[in-house]
Chains A and B, each alone.
Chain A
Amino acid sequence: MSRFLSLAPALLVLVGVLALALPALGQTRGLGRPALPEEIKAWDIDLRPDGHGVPPGQGSVKEGEAIFLKQCAACHGEFGEGAGRWPVVAGRESLVNENPEKTVGSYWPHVTTVFDYVRRTMPFGNAQSLTDGEVYALTAFLLHMNDLVKEDFVLASDTIAAVALPNAGGFYDDDRETTEKHFWGTEPCMKNCKAEVTILNRARALDVTPDDKGAPKVE
């Protein structure tokens, strides 16, 4: 007990030093370290539709076709039609069809998104192996496969943000709280809610055998 009491003043001094030391480290609390410009450059590979992050460079449809046939067609098909259940990347069919195919031409809103995605994760299994010029060329070829540009088209850093995709205006922000307002606030029926019940469909009666087009997908 007496030993503890004799330590108490020393402890108080120590606590005081710590209390002073914490604010002295500033808002970072001394945690982490500054990111170097070279480090930010190495990782900051994202593009935005407004042109943010667009890297210098260019690539042509013709160059893109050669890369696509060598590195992409095994999965996506020579004409972007998709091999087996791999993604279809070309086609402009309507989005109100049964099982609509969502391609760069039919669904994707922005070319920068195509560039960003291909650069960060394609080819599948060999990500971030393409040069920026190759990604420009592939993006140009994807636009061509979707009948959006001619075969002599060259995509470049100063034009990418200006290329408009057909479905750019096809999206709107989440509106569930207005269009689905009737899902709120209703006290549901508890007794004698309906006269009869019929079974409309059964999982076991429905043929879910997959084919290239018709089977349900997990995305």
Chain B
Amino acid sequence: MESDRSHRASRRRFLGGVGAAVALLGSGRRAGAATPDPAITELPDWTRYLGEGVASRPYGRPSEFEAHVVRRNVAWLTASPESSVNFTPLHDLDGTITPNGLCFERHHSGVAEVDPAKHRLMVHGLVERPRVFTVADLKRFPGRANRVYFMECAANSGMEWRGAQLNGCQFTHGMVHNVMYTGVPLKAVLEACGLGPNASWLLAEGADAAAMTRSVPLAKALDDCLLAWAMNGEALRPEQGYPLRLVVPGWEGNMWIKWLRRIEVGDRPWHHREETAKYTDLMADGRARRFTFIMDAKSVVTNPSPQAPLVHKGTNLLSGLAWSGRGRVKRVDVTLDGGRNWRHARLDGPVLPLSLTRFYFPFNWNGRELLIQSRVIDETGYVQPTKQALRQVRGTSSIYHNNGIQTWHVHAGGETENVEIS
């Protein structure tokens, strides 16, 4: 019953947001106002009086009018908040970079609050020189790199395998974020330790109470993995692995070990819990794919969406995000009529490999119902599949790697909901 209540409360939250926004559609139109606008004719306090001085916000925070732009969780999804997930508010963001405080969180034993002075990275196993590094040591490597990468949980959209479930792109697609990492290539650190002749896999381990481990193929480690200490120019947030995180570009988020404390080099994978019991994809025949590391190309329209319904007739700008774990986004197509006709969206901002890419599509809304979808094509020629096409190959039990095309149904009043269509 407790979960019943919390579920209803969360539904009220979803729908409350929709209701409030739809109400604007009626009251917010001032285009043809017959009376002067008090926002213009009356002097507001912020124009008359002094504001706060420079000492009041030593670490800046968003305007109080942006207080609704927060990560949200769905309490009934998991048994405890320490082993759970919250979601990036994609519908309230623009551009391609996710602000640090809004990057979704997924922990298995809560946020480790690590003292960097007591943090060590050990590299051992099949290496010639097992070594211990502090974060300060890593910052002295000459090959420091800054790279923008998306990071997506393999379970993003995982609740949607059996049909439309959650009303909001925050909840259906919000286990993704995109930041600029600063760190040292893992290759440089492994080379400093001297790889043994049979080295072919490594085990990365976190310092949290989950002591999270994942096996990573050495080829990936030597290709583009980073040991990162900063995101968007400042130190990693504790919930993102402060003081050190493994960055595994384009690959599922569970492998990006946070609070990274140990790398063991070996000659085969470890088959640990997070790569056997979890993060394996159960197919319809009862067998499961393992080591499905790459995140397939995916896109979603963030505006309009259930938490950001249409509120204006006439000129509108559709907006969304696309990404691929195999490289750059090459093209995004958008349909407003449920896939009968498609148009190319405009990509704007940097189109970087393995990074979120922003797309826009201007349209005129006359108040008719819309069925909105987006479809990404990446530079390898991969075309984002429909959910039906995915289910034909994978069934409905796989939980992970759901990159199917998302549909939003915009009603005549602007209210928008998560649906599936033929």
Residues in chain A within 8 A of chain B (CB atoms): 27-29, 31-35, 39-40, 43-50, 52, 75, 84-87, 94-96, 98-100, 102, 107-110, 112-113, 116-117, 120-121, 124-125, 127-128, 170-176, 179-180, 183-186, 188-194, 196-204, 206, 208-211, 215-219
Contacts and interface: CB of A to CB of B under 8 A. Distances in A.
A209 to B, nearest CB: 5
Contact of B276 (A50, A109, A173): A109
Given A32-B134, A171-B289, 18 more contacts: A29-B140, A31-B141, A34-B129, A40-B124, A43-B122, A46-B213, A84-B79, A96-B284, A96-B286, A99-B397, A108-B273, A113-B277, A124-B109, A176-B294, A185-B383, A197-B338, A203-B419, A204-B167
Interface of B: 3-4, 7, 15, 76-80, 82-85, 108-109, 122-124, 129-134, 137-138, 140-142, 155, 158-159, 162-167, 191-194, 203, 205, 209-211, 213, 261-262, 264, 266, 268, 270-273, 276-280, 282, 284-294, 296, 306, 333, 337-343, 371, 375, 377, 380-383, 385, 389, 393, 397, 399-400, 409, 417-422
B271 A190 contact: no
Contacts of B192: 27-29, 31-32
Contact of A219 (B109, B162, B209, B278): B278
Contacts of B338: 194, 197
15 contacts: A27-B191, A31-B140, A35-B131, A44-B124, A48-B268, A116-B270, A117-B273, A170-B288, A171-B276, A173-B289, A175-B289, A184-B382, A191-B341, A218-B158, A219-B155
Given A200-B420, A204-B167, A86 B79 contact: yes
A198 B386 CA distance: 15
Given A29-B192, A32-B192, A215 B76 contact: yes
Contacts of A117: 272-273, 277
A39 B213 contact: no
A171 to B, nearest CB: 4
Contacts of A180: 385, 393
Given A50-B268, A183-B382, A208 B209 contact: no
A120 to B, nearest CB: 4
Contacts, number: 273
A219 B152 CA distance: 13
B104 to A, nearest CB: 11
A109 B271 contact: yes
Given A32-B137, A40-B122, A109-B271, A219 B76 contact: no
Nearest to A169: B287
A209 B4 contact: yes
B421 A35 contact: no
Q: Which of B84, B85, B129 has the most CB of A within 10 A?
A: B129
Contacts of A27: 129, 191-192, 194
B389 A183 contact: yes
A32 B385 contact: no
Contact of B385 (A107, A183, A204): A183
B115 to A, nearest CB: 17
Nearest to B284: A96
B164 A170 contact: no
B271 A49 contact: yes
A79 B33 CA distance: 69
Contact of B422 (A43, A174, A198): A198
Given A44-B124, A188-B375, A202 B262 contact: no
Given A183-B382, A188-B333, A210 B288 contact: no
B137 A127 contact: no
Contacts of B122: 35, 39-40, 43
Contact of A216 (B159, B277, B418): B159
